[in-house]
Amino acid sequence: FAARLSQQEADNIARKIGVVSVFVDPIYKLHTTRSWDFLQYQTDVVIDSNLSSNSDPLSHGTDTVIGIIDTGIWPESESFKDKEIGPIPSRWKGVCMEGHDFSATTCNRFHFSSLYVYFILDMKLIDIPRIIRLFILTESRCGRKLIGARYYNSSVSSKATIKIHEQSPRDTLGHGTHTASTAAGNSIAGASYYGLATGTAKGGSPGSRIAIYKVCTSDGCRGSAILAAFDDAIADGVEILSLSLGASAFMKPDFSSDPVAIGSFHAVDKGITVVCSAGNDGPTSGTVVNAAPWILTVAATTIDRDLESDVVLGGNKVVKVMFSISSHHIWKGSEPTQNPNIYVLFVLQGEAINFSNLQKSPIYPLIYAESAKKSSSSKDDSRNCNPSSMDGAKIKGKIVLCEHSDDSYSKTEKMKEVKKLGGIGLVLIDELEKAIAFPFGDFPMTVISSKEGAEILSYINSTRKPVATILPTVSVTEYKPAPTVAYFSSRGPSLQTRNLLKPDIAAPGVNILAAWTGANSTSETPPTGQKPSQFNLLSGTSMSCPHVSGIAAFIKSNNPNWTPAAIKSAIMTTATEANNEKTPLTTDAGLMATPYDYGAGEINPTGTLQPGLIYEINTNEYLQFLCNYGYKLSTIKLISNTSTEFDCPKESNTDLISELNYPSIAISKFDGKNIKNITRTVTNVGADDETIYTASVKSLKELEVKVVPQTLQFTKRNKKLSYQVIFSSSSAIAGDLFGSITWSNGMYKVKSPFVVTSEGK
């Protein structure tokens, strides 16, 4: 339970018999269409003919319940309408809590229809046979999508100052609505964000039911509310839990005081798969959160759709005509010229969401912000367009080139400053966030890389009267390379234990279109003359997490007896490490990516349904992990419902964490002098009873990796066989060495990444 206590009261309660632990209530933060089509196109896997007819990962053939622990839901969204879904599963024990602007019948629109029909029957307004037919038709076609909704008094404010809209499952922030529709939203044709990213918006498991647990407000997410939500979700009967929230990478709690780690342990123990976002503190290494082994931890990647707002420069001298992917369709007829008198265009690719009304021709004066410096300001402040640093007389009527090397002020604050001074547009140089399309409404603003910024600055310095324009945003598809790992996605290794590879998997999390709240309290301002959009484009591991939750739900519907570990294994071992150019995954900065960035790789929705082999882990093995982590039994009881028979093995130590039967392998403190032997056990879940798998190894030459035995011969389904991986080196090694082990029988490929880290690291 949660309570407001003084330190003395907390100490007194902690000493009482039967009290396991008392700890401070932490405040966590949120980790804030075409993505599904892109994932489908990325795989070469062909569906096994022995699978059920409902084996399309985007079909409606699932009846699982996904619990979303987030900011609530906007139930009126088309993404959550009841469409051809049958009766609520009898196993469901959840409720719809009443609250502000949210009645108990909000989750039960079919019940509303029934009452309405009976009312007409009683009034005898029209003939009874017709009404009966209408009622039967309604009953056969309608079902229930949103079947549970709870909220918690999770505000960090005192009870007297809690806002009324917080006392309801209704989502006034939009985050929970967005994640819920990404995981299990209906298929909505013609969805867009004010005409951008137009297409069919759909969730990963459109046939799944949704249960909402509102634990977050604009103030954050209380740990006590998170724990209470886990408790309720377990009792309600959810099968998948999706959490797009977590601790800060720089204030990570230990497992024993982490509400997400504790709550998820109990959920997994009850057979519930828990999917969590990895965090948005990348690209710094060691920032991944939600890294407990029983959690499926998700990194974020881009998709092959880009939202581009280009900058067009003009001049009276020869310049190289630059064609970006987004600009070639605008200036298709342009050609380079050697005639110095011909007016040419210089097009540079930018990234933003703006609905610029500027002309497409570059006729607007262009200025570098530093040139408008106030005498009382520093050059650094002015070039960053920081408030009160620029002379308005020099800014008025111009497009401003500004840097974002100082992030003391947000992009929006810099935009407002330029707009206040009379500027008509802003080009912001931001190398880190150049791949993310931020919304700027009607104001012409775009974000470019430092390379393109240097091109514009060179143009300004070499031109007497530099001019430019900013084009409105356009959607570009089939963008290459994709996916790439997003800069913000938190990276491994997990600083809690380097003997466990985290994150586990990567999924789309950049510029994702999904349902949005209809509340007026959001900061989104619609373009002039338009109504607020029912959809929004957001980026974050918050968006990648529900992609995986939806796929996990579909796996569960096809394999109802599979454990959370089996579902995680199927997702990880079938992932891909290649992009749409069939080359290895990179970061959005163009650097080679590693499993510390993406885990096992980019999720493959089709492949997850036919993994061939799986790695199982039971609760006792997770308890042994906690022993090896260094916890005493008394501390382990803070996390789990430990049985009285369980005790930690005497030889427990952190090196043995590598022995957890995980779908990946991580070894720290490897000095190359001693051989390291790791054991894994796999279960045959493929189509054939009798089958032979052969191992292959991908590794750097500095590391010798041997698999014993090299073949596994199964004689029946669900049979378990073990193998050993022997790591050694004939010479000194340094740093992190990555590789993978793949088992294949000609039909299935079961890949496990590994990382071996030298002692000096």
Specify the 3-state DSSP secondary structure of 564.
Answer: helix
Distance, CA of 337 to CA of 316 (rounded, Å) = 12
Distance, CA of 633 to CA of 258 (rounded, Å) = 17
Distance, CA of 149 to CA of 168 (rounded, Å) = 9
Q: Which residues contact 46 (CB under 8 A, 6 or more apart)?
A: none
Q: From the candidates 175, 178, 266, 404, which is the catalytic residue?
A: 175
Using CA atoms of 420, 424, 428, 433 in order, give the dihedral in degrees to the nearest 10: 90
Q: Which has the closest alpha carbon to 424: 463, 345, 366, 373?
A: 366
Taking CB atoms within 8 Å and a gap of at least 24, the contacts of 100-105 are 100/164, 100/165, 100/167, 100/168, 100/170, 101/165, 101/168, 101/170, 102/75, 102/149, 102/168, 102/169, 102/170
User: For the stretch 218-254, what's the b/e string if a residue is b when 16 or more beta carbons lie within 10 angstroms of its beta carbon?
Assistant: eebbbbbbbbbbbebbbebbbbbbbbbbbbbbeebbe
Q: Which has the closest alpha carbon to 487: 593, 581, 408, 395?
A: 593
Q: How far does Cα 481 stand from its chain's mean position?
A: 19
70 is catalytic: yes
Q: Which has the closest alpha carbon to 683: 716, 638, 659?
A: 716
175 is catalytic: yes
Q: What residue has token string 């922030």?
A: 173
Length of the chain, in residues = 761
Q: From the candidates 63, 70, 171, 310, which is the catalytic residue?
A: 70
Q: DSSP secondary structure string, 520-560?
A: TTSS--PPTT-PPPSEEEE-SHHHHHHHHHHHHHHHHHH-T
Distance, CA of 526 to CA of 535 (rounded, Å) = 11
Distances from the Cα of 721 to the Cαs of 317, 571, 663, 681, 743, in angstroms?
Answer: 71, 20, 14, 6, 12
Residue 439's identity, in one-letter code, is P
60 is catalytic: no
Residue 241 and residue 233 in contact, taking contact as beta carbons nearer than 8 Å:
yes
Catalytic residues: 70, 175, 542
